[in-house]
Structure 1
């Protein structure tokens, strides 16, 4: 399983960010062909009880790296990327990872 990870820093206006993220961006992203699952986590703090510099984490799962690469070529993925840059381009970091079995 391969996943793309979007890690967002604290937005200036959390309410405005949440409204756009959940009402506009998530529905656009959910339409990407080959996307198997999408998990969103709100960061609530650090283990020491302090505030984190990060606000949100999104994990988008694909069957394989090849499936991910094919998905990124689609118009749906391009629409998601365009929307992302329009509202969070300065606070998001994108990564691709592969899950590792931990026996």
Structure 2
């Protein structure tokens, strides 16, 4: 599995960020082709480490080719343009190769 991940630092105006993210950006990302699932997680409590994380986005793909195709899609380009318009100073975006998944009770 491969993932596209975005980590957002706390925005200046959380309400405005959330409104745009969930009503505009999330809908654009949902149009990107080829993903298996999307997970969006809001940080509720920092236990240790860097407390500068507000939200995490993960888009899961079956394989590297599906991820590459998604990144090259016009839908992703549109979402990327939107991202740069509202969050370019607070977001870090990267891809990962999932090397291990552990499930309890299997």
Moved over 4 A (4+): none
**Secondary structure at 1:60 match in 2:** strand
Secondary structure of the structure 1 residue equivalent to 2:23: helix
1:21 aligns with 2:21: yes
Compute the TM-score of the two structures, normalised by the length of structure 2: 0.89
Gaps of 5+ in 2: none
Q: Write the deviation string for residues 48-87 of structure 1: whole angstroms up to 9, x where unpaired.
A: 5x99211000100111111111111111010010011100
Residues 32, 102 of structure 1: alpha-carbon distance in 2 compared, 3 angstrom cutoff = closer
Structure 1 residue runs of 5 or longer lacking an equivalent are none
2:30 — aligned with what? 30
Q: How many aligned positions are there?
A: 102
Length-normalised TM-score, structure 1: 0.92
Distance 1:67 1:45, change over 3 A: same
> Deviations 1:19-54 (Å, cap 9, x if unpaired)?
000000000000001021110110122115x99211
SS at structure 1 position matched to 2:55: strand
Q: CA RMSD in A?
A: 1.7
Distance in 1 of aligned mates of 2:88 and 2:100: 32
Q: Which residue number corresponds to residue 66 of structure 1?
A: 65
SS at match of 1:54: coil
